[in-house]
């Protein structure tokens, strides 16, 4: 969400944090757990605390969040 909200491509984020663009895709799908260093680099690039971007518990799906927001 952070990446798309800011209009940043996977390639741009990958270059900024020093990884392959495929790695960003794996992270976004939950197929890859980043190292502490990579997690901190991504959070720093977005200028947010690392726990805003990464969590031990899954984040709610975007579709569920949008559905709940529509119920308000």
Say what percent of the chain tops pLDDT 90: 47
The total of structural domains in the chain comes to 1
The residue segments making up the domain with residue 41 are 2-71
Report yes or no: 30 and 10 within 8 Å, Cβ to Cβ: no
pLDDT recorded at residue 33: 87
Which tokens hold the place of 54?
């990464």
pLDDT recorded at residue 69: 72
CATH number at residue 66: 1.10.260.40
Distance CA 3, CA 16 (A): 12
- Mean pLDDT rounded to a whole number for the chain: 86
Whether the per-residue pLDDT at 9 is higher than 90: the answer is: yes
Residue 63: pLDDT band with limits 50, 70, 90:
confident
> Which has the higher per-residue pLDDT, 56 or 36?
36
pLDDT recorded at residue 26: 92
């Amino acid at each position: 969400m952070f990446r798309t909200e800011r209009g940043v491509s996977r390639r741009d984020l990958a270059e900024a944090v020093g990884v392959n663009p495929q790695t960003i895709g794996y992270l976004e799908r939950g197929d890859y757990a980043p190292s502490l260093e990579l997690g901190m680099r991504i959070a720093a690039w977005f200028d947010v605390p690392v726990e805003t971007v990464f969590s031990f518990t899954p984040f709610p799906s975007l579709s569920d969040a949008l559905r709940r927001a529509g119920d308000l």
